[in-house]
RNA sequence: GUACCCGUAGCUCAGUCGGAAGAGCAUCCGCCUUCUAAGCGGACGGUCGCGUGUUCGAAUCACGCCGGGUACGCCA
């Protein structure tokens, strides 16, 4: 999608339109099954060590009784159906086969047997299911000691020793970060955090769109209008200035062959390393980066590598030579291609283009060169490309070429694709129905990311002032920023990434229900209790945590680890988001239960009881705070 | 035409190897003497797009349709 202020300003496609949003997974790759939004890698067992603390003894007992391997039982535990007051359900279908019994009979048998060997366990057979309830105190004794570190619930060693190179955000120079850039940026940011939490080393790469024929037009326009650096610097917004320049230049060049030629000449000069062209290009790039950094700072996003397309412009020789050496390229209509239908198979309908008829290189070539460079520099084991699904074909093609080149990493390249952002359009123009439309809102304007964030902050500020009149202005502003941005970011992360995002201001900026602020509010409530408790080391006795509310909070915490590992394996932050919503929900129920019952409060009269509950507060606050951080949201202590 | 994404409650979406249909919003009814009501409880609401097949069992798997979206040789 493009970033022109008005659609009519958008240049015709035939020459030098700016690239669409840069940069996708392979279709035939087993890690990305066709119809599943949240794929789980087959063959690789998803672990849940934290929850295993509870289920292991049960699995062992069942396995022992039925004479099967414990691992055959461990994976079966499932959430109970709604309406059954149980913690976990054990479906007996598969085990019934091994036991030579009908599922309901086995369920009945296990329901009678298990409580005799597992202390504190109650079990009820409901048809073919055996529903299990643990005693709250036992759950706390099993889990709380493992949660002494605040972040322990969201740590895993699944990726220890491995490195992931994550390519995300990737905006184009001389254009604004449009709202849709939030997708790649925050998905990539969340994945980088989650990979790290799962033990991976990560490299965050911003593959800037800093090259292309559009810069020839921009330079040509700059020279024609006699603009100066001072004029650029004096602009309120340098990117807007450059954008407007581009629009004027392309308007002027429309139907003016001389200007078109001039733009082409500047493109060529830029490619040839002409000093003046390079100087102007660098100025445009610096101005753009400064603006990008303002937005990244708001979002709290950082990068380790900023090598853009321009960096690789003169580094494609070796890959072209290697392709030729290995007889993988051929000529077709003057262009150099890799004949994928012939070399790989008929799942490919067309060849991959490697070199244009005029000798210029292409997107795929750059990605191949960049990938070699990254793998060498960072010794990465896996590479993620967080790019919209519209570019799937591009990635399947060059991934296939990497395989033909026998790259050892070829099987570990992942296109983390996502759906487009659609805006509600009330007035789409003559003959068109109102509806969801790509990129633009009612006035036909492209929504800029910064504008959306600022609007969200403004709306949050109104509520913050109302709810926290005693806080000083600076703290109110900080909270408004955290909550406003949290709402927008979480709105983008909470659903499966392959869905198209339907953006309405009112929905994205909602502060109640399943939202970022909902998570943040639960966190703030826990912090508030800790402040009031005003205690240091806590040595509460887990056995005193005997209510179902407390048990449910613990179980919700214990499920986070599994959610984290699934998030990493499926490259799907919405899995973590869902687990955090579940946790925040249990926290809210727990804390609210204290409203009408003083004895149920954390800060109650019974000091020992209170100390035990404070341990749970600390564990929950640590887990929720860390979860927010992993998703890229702030965790306010007050709101 | 080919490939990919999507289709589940009025709206927006979850649904973890195939095993018990879920949430938020909206609407309606309750709960502030509050460890923070940005919260909690309840009600209402569904032929899981359609069909066939596989299976003891299908929202889930296979095949075929229908509908919406996206992409398909010298842009990125």
b or e along A446-465 (b: 16 or more beta carbons within 10 Å of the residue's beta carbon)? bbbbbebbebbbebbbebbe
For all residues of chain A together, what is the average pLDDT? 87
According to the model, what pLDDT value does residue A57 have?
Answer: 92
Strand partners, A388: A418
- Which nucleotide lies at the shortest CA–C1' distance from A502? B12
Q: Which amino acid residue lies closest to nucleotide B74, measuring CA to C1'?
A: A356
> How deeply is A119 buried, as exposed, middle or buried, from its count of CB atoms within 10 A (0-12, 13-18, 19+)?
exposed
Give the Cα separation of A547 and A612 in Å (integer): 12
Strands A163-167 and A501-503: unpaired
Q: What is the spatial distance, in angstroms and rounded to an integer, between the CA atom of A23 and the C1' atom of B17?
A: 33
Q: Which amino acid residue lies closest to nucleotide B61, measuring CA to C1'?
A: A35
CA of residue A594 relative to chain centroid, distance: 35
**Domains and their CATH numbers in chain A:** 7-42+163-210+304-423 (3.40.50.620), 49-140 (3.30.1360.70), 214-299 (no CATH), 451-639 (1.10.730.10)
Identify the sign of the CA torsion A581, A584, A590, A595.
negative
Q: What is the spatial distance, in angstroms and rounded to an integer, between the CA atom of A29 and the C1' atom of B53?
A: 26
Structure tokens at A175: 């254009």
According to the model, what pLDDT value does residue A513 have?
Answer: 94
- Which nucleotide lies at the shortest CA–C1' distance from A514? B24
According to the model, what pLDDT value does residue A520 have?
Answer: 98
ipTM of the complex: 0.97
Q: What is the spatial distance, in angstroms and rounded to an integer, between the CA atom of A586 and the C1' atom of B41?
A: 14
According to the model, what pLDDT value does residue A337 have?
Answer: 96
Q: Which nucleotides of B are covered by protein (CB under 7 A)?
A: 1-6, 12-17, 19-26, 31, 34-41, 56-57, 60-62, 69-76
Q: Give Cβ neighbours of residue A547 (< 8 Å, ≥ 6 apart).
A: A136, A590, A593, A600
- Which nucleotide lies at the shortest CA–C1' distance from A417? B5
- Which nucleotide lies at the shortest CA–C1' distance from A437? B69
More confident call, A205 vs A503: A205
Structure tokens at A286: 């610096």
Give the Cα separation of A386 and A169 in Å (integer): 8
Q: What is the spatial distance, in angstroms and rounded to an integer, between the CA atom of A160 and the C1' atom of B48?
A: 40
Q: What is the spatial distance, in angstroms and rounded to an integer, between the CA atom of A13 and the C1' atom of B73?
A: 16
Note whether A7 and A154 are within 8 A (CB).
no
- pLDDT tens across A177-193, in order? 999 999 999 999 999 99
- pLDDT tens across A448-472, in order? 999 999 999 999 999 999 999 999 9
According to the model, what pLDDT value does residue A23 have?
Answer: 45
DSSP per residue over A566-610, as a string? HHHHHT-HHHHHHHHHHHHHHHHHHHHHTTS-GGGSSS-S-HHHH
DSSP per residue over A490-555, as a string? HHHHSS-TTSPEEE-HHHHT--SSSSHHHHHHHHHHHHHHHHHH--SS----GGG--SHHHHHHHH
- Which nucleotide lies at the shortest CA–C1' distance from A574? B14
Q: Which amino acid residue lies closest to nucleotide B41, measuring CA to C1'?
A: A589
According to the model, what pLDDT value does residue A338 have?
Answer: 97
pLDDT over threshold 90, residue A33: no
According to the model, what pLDDT value does residue A373 have?
Answer: 95
> How deeply is A443 buried, as exposed, middle or buried, from its count of CB atoms within 10 A (0-12, 13-18, 19+)?
exposed
- Which nucleotide lies at the shortest CA–C1' distance from A90? B19
Structure tokens at A487: 């709402």
Q: What is the spatial distance, in angstroms and rounded to an integer, between the CA atom of A333 and the C1' atom of B50?
A: 45
pLDDT over threshold 60, residue A239: yes
According to the model, what pLDDT value does residue A36 have?
Answer: 26
Q: What is the spatial distance, in angstroms and rounded to an integer, between the CA atom of A507 and the C1' atom of B25?
A: 9
Q: How many CB atoms lie within 10 A of CB A67?
A: 8
According to the model, what pLDDT value does residue A163 have?
Answer: 97
- Which nucleotide lies at the shortest CA–C1' distance from A460? B38
According to the model, what pLDDT value does residue A240 have?
Answer: 93
More confident call, A132 vs A32: A132
- Which nucleotide lies at the shortest CA–C1' distance from A361? B74
What value does the mean pLDDT take over residues A208-226? 91
Nearest to A114 by CA among A94, A95, A137: A95
Which residue is listed with tokens 């570019």?
Answer: A391
- pLDDT tens across A388-425, in order? 999 999 999 999 999 999 999 999 999 999 998 887 76
According to the model, what pLDDT value does residue A562 have?
Answer: 92
Structure tokens at A62: 């069942």
- pLDDT tens across A60-103, in order? 999 999 988 888 888 888 888 877 889 999 999 888 888 888 88
Identify the sign of the CA torsion A150, A154, A158, A161.
negative
Note whether A127 and A83 are within 8 A (CB).
no
- Which nucleotide lies at the shortest CA–C1' distance from A357? B74
Name the phi and psi angles at A501, rounded to 5. Answer: -95, 125
Q: What is the spatial distance, in angstroms and rounded to an integer, between the CA atom of A36 and the C1' atom of B64?
A: 20
Which helix (H) or strand (E) covers residue A260, if one does?
Answer: helix A257-272
Note whether A217 and A277 are within 8 A (CB).
no
According to the model, what pLDDT value does residue A434 have?
Answer: 65
Q: What is the spatial distance, in angstroms and rounded to an integer, between the CA atom of A32 and the C1' atom of B5?
A: 13
According to the model, what pLDDT value does residue A429 have?
Answer: 60
Note whether A311 and A211 are within 8 A (CB).
no
Q: What is the spatial distance, in angstroms and rounded to an integer, between the CA atom of A370 and the C1' atom of B8?
A: 42
Strands A435-438 and A501-503: unpaired
Q: Which amino acid residue lies closest to nucleotide B11, measuring CA to C1'?
A: A507
Q: What is the spatial distance, in angstroms and rounded to an integer, between the CA atom of A234 and the C1' atom of B50?
A: 62
Give the Cα separation of A309 and A620 in Å (integer): 44
Local structure of residue A237 (DSSP, 8 states): S
């Amino acid at each position: 999608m493009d970033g022109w202020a008005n659609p009519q300003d958008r240049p015709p496609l035939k020459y030098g339109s700016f690239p669409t949003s840069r940069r996708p997974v392979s279709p035939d790759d087993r890690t990305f099954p066709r119809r599943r939004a949240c794929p789980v890698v087959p063959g690789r067992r998803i672990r849940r060590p934290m929850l295993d603390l509870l289920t292991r003894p049960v699995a062992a007992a069942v396995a022992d009784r039925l004479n099967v391997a414990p691992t055959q039982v461990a994976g079966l535990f499932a959430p109970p159906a709604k309406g059954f007051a149980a913690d976990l359900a054990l479906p007996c279908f598969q085990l019934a086969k091994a036991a030579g019994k009908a599922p309901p009979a086995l369920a009945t048998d296990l329901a009678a047997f298990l409580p005799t060997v597992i202390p504190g366990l109650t079990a009820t057979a409901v048809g073919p299911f055996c529903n299990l309830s643990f005693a709250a105190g036992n759950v706390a004794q099993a889990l709380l000691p493992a949660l002494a570190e605040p972040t322990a619930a969201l740590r895993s060693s699944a990726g220890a020793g491995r490195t992931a190179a994550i390519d995300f955000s990737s905006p184009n120079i001389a254009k604004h970060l449009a709202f849709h850039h939030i997708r790649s940026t925050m998905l990539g940011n969340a994945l980088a955090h989650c990979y790290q939490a799962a033990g991976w080393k990560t490299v965050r790469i911003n593959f800037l769109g800093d090259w292309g024929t559009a810069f020839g037009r921009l330079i040509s326009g700059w020279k024609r209008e006699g603009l100066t650096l001072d004029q650029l610097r004096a602009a309120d917004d340098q990117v807007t200035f450059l954008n407007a320049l581009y629009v004027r230049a392309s308007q002027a060049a429309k139907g003016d062959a001389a200007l078109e030629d001039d733009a082409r000449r500047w493109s060529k000069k830029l490619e040839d390393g002409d000093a003046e062209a390079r100087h102007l290009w660098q100025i445009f790039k610096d101005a753009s980066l400064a603006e990008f950094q303002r937005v990244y700072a708001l979002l709290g996003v950082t990068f380790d590598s900023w090598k853009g397309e321009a960096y690789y412009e003169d580094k494609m020789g070796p890959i072209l030579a290697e392709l030729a050496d290995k007889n993988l390229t051929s000529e077709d209509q003057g262009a150099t291609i890799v004949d994928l239908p012939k070399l790989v198979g008929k799942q490919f309908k067309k060849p991959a283009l490697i070199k244009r008829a005029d000798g210029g290189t292409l997107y795929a070539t750059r990605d191949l060169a960049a990938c070699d460079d990254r793998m060498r520099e960072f010794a990465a084991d896996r590479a993620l490309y967080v790019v919209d699904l519209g570019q799937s074909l591009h990635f399947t093609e060059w991934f296939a070429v990497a395989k033909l080149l026998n790259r050892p990493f070829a099987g570990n390249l992942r296109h983390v694709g996502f759906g487009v952002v659609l805006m509600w359009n009330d007035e789409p123009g003559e003959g068109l129905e109102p509806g969801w439309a790509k990129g633009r809102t009612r006035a036909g304007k492209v929504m800029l990311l910064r504008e959306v964030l600022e609007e969200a902050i403004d709306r949050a500020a109104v509520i913050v002032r109302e709810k926290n009149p005693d806080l000083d202005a600076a703290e109110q502003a900080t909270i408004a920023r955290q909550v406003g941005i949290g709402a927008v970011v979480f709105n983008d992360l909470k659903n499966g990434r392959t869905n198209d995002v339907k953006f309405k201001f009112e929905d994205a900026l909602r502060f109640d229900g399943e939202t970022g602020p909902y998570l943040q509010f639960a966190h703030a409530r826990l912090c508030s209790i800790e402040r009031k408790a005003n205690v240091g080391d806590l040595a509460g006795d887990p056995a005193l945590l005997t209510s179902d509310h407390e048990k449910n909070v613990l179980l919700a915490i214990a499920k986070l680890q599994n959610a984290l590992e699934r998030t990493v394996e499926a490259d799907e932050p919405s899995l973590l988001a869902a687990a955090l919503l579940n946790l925040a929900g249990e926290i809210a129920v727990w804390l609210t239960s204290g409203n009408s019952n003083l004895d149920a409060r954390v800060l109650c009269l019974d000091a020992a009881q209170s100390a035990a509950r404070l341990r749970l507060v600390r564990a929950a606050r640590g887990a929720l705070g860390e979860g927010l951080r992993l998703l890229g949201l702030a965790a306010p202590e007050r709101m």
